[in-house]
Amino acid sequence: MSPISMEDKRYLLQLARSVILDQLGEKSSGSLPERSSPGFMEKRGCFVTLHLSGRLRGCIGIIEPIKSLIAGVKENAIHAGFHDPRFPPVTLHEMDNITIEISILTKPVPLVFENADDLKKLLKPGVHGVILSQGYCRATFLPQVWKQLPGTEDFLGHLCQKAGMEKTCWKDTKITVEVYEVSVFSEKDMNRGL
C-alpha cells in the first residue's frame, strides 16, 4: 500500500467537502484541481466521518478494499452527509461548523481466540478497529470509538448491540471477530499542521 502524503490527505479532505457541497447545490469542485497520486487508485477500505461542533453528525464507510481510495472517499462523503440513517441530511447552513475526518483502513484480519478472556487479551484498545459478525448480523467500530468506550467489555457490548445482537454476544466462541488499523486525519488536524 502506498503511503498517503500530507498533500494527498489535504486533497482528500477537500474532495470530501466539495462533493458534499456539490450535493447541496454549491458547485465547489470546479475549483478543486485534479490530483493524481499512486495511493488514490489503490483499493482501500475507508470511512468518512462528519462532526458538527465536536459531535458526531454522520459516519459511513466501506470496510473491505473493494473500491479505489478516491472513489471510496467521494461515495462515503455523500453517504455520511445524506444517507446515515441516524441523522437527517446535512444542510448548507451546517457546513461551516462541520469538520470532516477520513479513516483509511488496513485489510481486516480474523482473530483466532479460544474464549472471551482470550479475545479481550488479543484486542488493542485505541489501535484496533473491530468487526464483529455472526450470520447476517455484522457491525464495526473504528479505533476512534475506544475514546468513548475505553473498557473492552463495554466496547464489545456496544458493538454487539450495533450489530443487532445481545450485548454479551462477544462471549460466544462462534462469533467472528476481525481487526484492522487506520490512518486517520481530519480538517482539524490540518488546521493545526498535523
Quote the percentage of the chain above a pLDDT of 90: 82
**Cell output for 6:** 500530507
Q: Which numeric CATH code is attached to 109-180?
A: 3.30.1490.150
Best CA proximity match to 18, nearest among 78, 101, 80, 94? 78
* Distant-in-sequence, close-in-space partners of 119: CB < 8 Å, separation ≥ 6: 111, 113, 156, 170, 177
Query: pLDDT tens-digit profile of 118-162?
Result: 999 999 999 999 999 999 999 999 999 999 999 999 999 999 999
What is the structure's pLDDT at 76? 98
Residue 171 has pLDDT above 60, yes or no: yes
Architecture of the domain delimited by 6-105: 2-Layer Sandwich (3.30)
Tell me the chain's radius of gyration from C-alpha atoms: 17
Residue with more model confidence, 2 or 120: 120
Residue with more model confidence, 39 or 186: 186
Model confidence, pTM: 0.89
List the domain boundaries for the chain: 6-105, 109-180
Under DSSP, the state recorded for 43 is B
